[in-house]
Structure 1
C-alpha cells in the first residue's frame, strides 16, 4: 500500500514539474532581458549597471555607480554593456570613452573598514586614503580581490593600515 502511494506521489510530482517547467524557464529568461533604461538616480544617462543590493532603485549610469559603490564595494553588481547581464567584480567599473561607448575598467577597491579617528595631530585635510596591500576576501557571496586601506598624513607622513585586531573588530 505504501509503495503505491509513493509511486503516485512521484508520478504527480513529475507531472507538475513538466507543466511548470516552461513557465519557470520563460520567467527566468525574461528576468535577464536587458532594456535601454535611464539611471534610477540621475534620470538623465543610460543605465549600464544593475545592482541587486540597491533595490528598488537598482539601475545605475557609470557616474552614479562610481559615486555610490565606492563605499559599498561588496554589492552584487552586473554590467549591461554588451546587451546582456554580466557579473561585475568590485574592482571593475564602467567608463565611457571619447566616442560614447562604454567599456569595463579596473579600479582600486578598498576593504570596507573603520579608519582610526585620529591618525596624528595634523589637519584632517592632510589625510589621504590609498590602496595598500592586496588581499582576498572570501564570504558567502563569493571571492573579492580588494586592497587594505593605507591612511597617510601628508604633513608628518604617519601611516596606518588595519592589522589583525582591526579586521576582527570590524567583523572579518
Structure 2
C-alpha cells in the first residue's frame, strides 16, 4: 500500500492536471513512442515557441483529472505512452503543430483532444489543424460581407451616372437649339 506522502503527491498532480484541463482552450494527446531525442526536442521547441505547454503524463492520473472535469470519453485513449500538449490561449496551435510533426515523423500519433471542453478524436483534431489561421478566416468573412455592399454601391453609382449622362445630353441639345 502506498505511503501517505506518495498519495499526497499523486493527489497534487491530479489536482494540477485537473486545473490545466479546466483552463485549457485546447489539449491534444499523442503517442510519442519511437521518436528520437532530436525529434522530440524539435517538437518541444516548436510547441514552446507557439506558447503551448507539452509534457509526458501518467495515464492513470490524467484519467482521474479528466474524469474530474467530466471528460469520461477520453478514457479509451489513455493507454501506452501519452504526451499532452496544452494551450490556454490558442485553439489551433497544439493541433496544428502536432499534426504537422505527425506527418513529418510517422511514429508520432495523435490520439485525441479536447477543444473548449468537447472531446474530439484523431481525425477531428487533424481537421482542426487543417483550418487556415484566424486572421485569414476573419479576412475572408469580412470580404464576403463587403462584396454585396460594394455591388449595391456600384448599382447606385450606375443609376446616378446614367442620370448625369442623360441630363448632360439634354443640356447639350438645348444649348445647340
TM-score surpassing 0.5? no
Rg: which structure is higher?
2
Normalising by the smaller structure, the TM-score range is: under 0.3
More strand by share: 1
Q: Could you tell me the TM-score, scaled by structure 1's length?
A: 0.28
Q: Which has the higher contact order (CA 8 A, sep 6+)?
A: 2
